[in-house]
Structure 1
């Protein structure tokens, strides 16, 4: 394929990661969801997942390092993180198989329903005494969904939001969860042969627009009120859920 033939694809990848980085900067998530959803229109899901590895790793490190309290928060959600790794290990190879339409539809519907409840101010709450046993189960389910779709959001996002964290703690907790999910997914892709040198090179190039978008998004997030942030958070999830539902229905 000539350089001229590659230009539209490179431009598409750059735009997708700029948009995904911006959404992540504003609401703390969305990079894998948007990039997987849009890039899968132009390439196999496993190839799209390989491209998001480096941008997801770096943007999540940036996200979790933005405030103090990292280790205390990581210890609190350690069960979730262990469960994620176990779930991805169990489902290793699913993404490369390509039969993800039904899972994507279910993921989109779950995300849409959760966001709708959030916009209607229906509050979910996990008691502190239940975290010890709920956290690993939520992590396991998230890992299985990640292995099948390359997306890290369900059920980890509603679980973390139900812990009663403040705005910046929630964003940091999401970053920790997504960082561990990215590492686990990268190992699964590598073991399946999907993380080749050319894919890593493409992922490194995708980092630049992702960082630019995230920087702009964080600038905006720090200037909005907590209530507006909550509305943006759930509105973003609602749109992502609607998109994934439509895409999953078309490929189921």
Structure 2
């Protein structure tokens, strides 16, 4: 099998699975995609393939709700800090030792999986939201710059803000969109996201959207709680494997 066909099969399969997960539970595309691709390439290379499909699917998720303006006004301190943290950590993913980046990616996936399996119900009061938002954003940006995954600590924090279901999905879409743009800017600054890479990343859009469509169809027919448990258990195993590979 030629390298081109291997690449096409790898990208199609990975983003079909990642899009399916996102379609069922509303998140997980970048986490699954970078995690699976990290088994056969460096996290930096995986992150470059993630940018375009992540941006397209997250914009879809963001624009599906009616509350963009209100969410942007509420979350802007966190969103700005995500950008600053990502840019401050620029180079960690592409210029650091590959083993260290792989281990960091595995640790991030494992921690996220453990949070999902324990189902902690955190709550952040209004008086703590303003001082916490920029700190959470900066930490998320640094994790994004180091691993290519932008779920920690932003996702559990946003979940703790008390949004209803539709508001939460849109808020996560906004956070992921900003994180994706910041990651793309950082990768571009490091010379890792050029025109050829954009084309390769764009090839993943169709399987990601197809996977999302299938996942949304399945979500109406299965118990999402059972699927979430299986997803986080698999993510924990994937994270542990990546940590061992990196070490």
TM-score by length of 2: 0.91
Unpaired runs of at least 5, structure 1: none
In the other structure, the counterpart of 2:188 is: 190
In the other structure, the counterpart of 1:52 is: 50
Q: Distance in 2 between matches of 1:129 and 1:231?
A: 35
In the other structure, the counterpart of 2:101 is: 100
1:84-137 Cα deviation digits (max 9, x unpaired): 11110110001102331342243133213311220xxx4211112211011111
1:12–1:208 distance in 2 versus 1, CA, 3 Å: same
Q: Distance in 2 between matches of 1:170 and 1:247?
A: 30
Does structure 1 retain, via aligned residues, the 8 Å contact 2:110–2:235?
no
1:241–1:140 distance in 2 versus 1, CA, 3 Å: farther
* Worse-matched range after superposition: 193-202 or 228-237: 228-237
1:14–1:41 distance in 2 versus 1, CA, 3 Å: same
Q: Distance in 2 between matches of 1:231 and 1:83?
A: 34
1:250 equivalent to 2:245? Answer yes
Alignment map for 1:200-211 (pairs within 5 Å): 200-211=198-209
Kindly state the Cα deviation for residue 5 of structure 1 after the two structures are TM-superposed.
3.3
Q: Which of these residues, 82, 85, 95, is aligned with residue 84 of structure 1? A: 82
1:175–1:238 distance in 2 versus 1, CA, 3 Å: farther
1:130 equivalent to 2:151? Answer no
Alignment map for 1:86-235 (pairs within 5 Å): 86-96=84-94, 97=96, 98=98, 99-118=100-119, 122-221=120-219, 223=220, 228-229=223-224, 232-233=227-228, 235=230
Q: Distance in 2 between matches of 1:169 and 1:248?
A: 34
Q: CA RMSD in A?
A: 1.9
Kindly state the Cα deviation for residue 42 of structure 1 after the two structures are TM-superposed.
2.4
Q: Which of these residues, 67, 70, 77, is aligned with residue 69 of structure 1? A: 67
Does structure 2 retain, via aligned residues, the 8 Å contact 1:20–1:31?
yes
Does structure 1 retain, via aligned residues, the 8 Å contact 2:42–2:102?
no
Runs of 4+ in 1 over 6 A off after TM superposition: none
Q: Distance in 1 between matches of 2:126 and 2:237?
A: 32
Q: 3-state SS of the aligned residue for 2:163?
A: coil
TM-score by length of 1: 0.89
Q: Distance in 2 between matches of 1:113 and 1:41?
A: 20
1:66–1:233 distance in 2 versus 1, CA, 3 Å: farther
